Amino acid sequence: MVEAKKPHLPSAPASESFKRQARAAFESLRDKLCRRLEQFETVARFQQTPWKRTAEPKQSDQGGGVMSMLCGDVFEKAGVHTSTVYGQFSEEFRERIPGCEDSPDFWASGISLIVHPRSPRIPTAHMNLRMIATGRSWLGGGADLTPMLERQRNNETEDAIVFHTALRGVCDKHNPDYYARFQEWCDTYFFLPHRNEARGIGGIFYDYLDSGEREADLAFAEDVGAAFLQVYPRIVEAHIDEKWNEEERREQLHRRGRYVEFNLLYDRGTIFGLRTGGNVEAILSSLPPLASWS
């Protein structure tokens, strides 16, 4: 079992130039993802909405981000959001964050994607990459796949094989130990204890990554994003012309209900965003447009 423990990280903070480099990487990936997903739509395009962070204590500038949303024929709801925020953690929250022992100051930048396709046969997808800097700094993120139909919810399907093969390739390129560790971490993290079931068929999840070579850690994050950019459209293309029925739609809405439960009860990214003055609409855009508990 892999646990997200508070790590012992090197004490040297990240430089301002490295922070700018990480932010630029996330924003560049956002633009590529938006352009690629738009290729599946006839009319719909991503609508971008800038926002500014507001949190206590009040400061004139606390950063912000851009919320990019698309509602189309293929993707019932898709969000690709970037943010770069900074300021101070609340006294309650800073106790959970490495590097805040002496100062509550923080800086965080990242990208978050969630895609809820209209077709029950196209899996929901999630991808997140981020960098956080306090008195220390680290990277985290990952990507995971959530099929909506029970017959697709195993790692023997073509979708699962293609998805995991892509992520394994990225991990093996950087460290032969990454894939096994990060796959197990993903399976542990994206699990609903109250249902005793997995959210989907996994992928990779990692946090507190600081190998001592920041450029290499950022390169790994960029490669995870690039792999997702290649593999998820392949999965969409494999199912986009398949016919589906109302029974499959009902199964999809039921599975989406489980997705809502996880994101509201357990997701650390949701909690972090809401407690640090993030954009509520962007944070909760991970929820599907329609779901069912019947």
- Give the active site residues: 126
Q: Which residue has the tokens 């206590």?
A: 56
Nearest by Cα to 106 from 199, 19, 22:
19
3-state helix, strand, coil in the chain (%, to 5): 40, 25, 35
Pair 21, 222: CB distance under 8 Å: no
Alpha carbon distance 145, 259 (integer Å): 11
State the DSSP H helix or E strand holding residue 253, giving kind and residue range, or none if neither. Answer: helix 246-265
From 165, 126, 163, 158, select the one nearest 239 (Cα to Cα).
Answer: 158
The partner residues of 131 in beta bridges, in order of sequence, read 109, 139
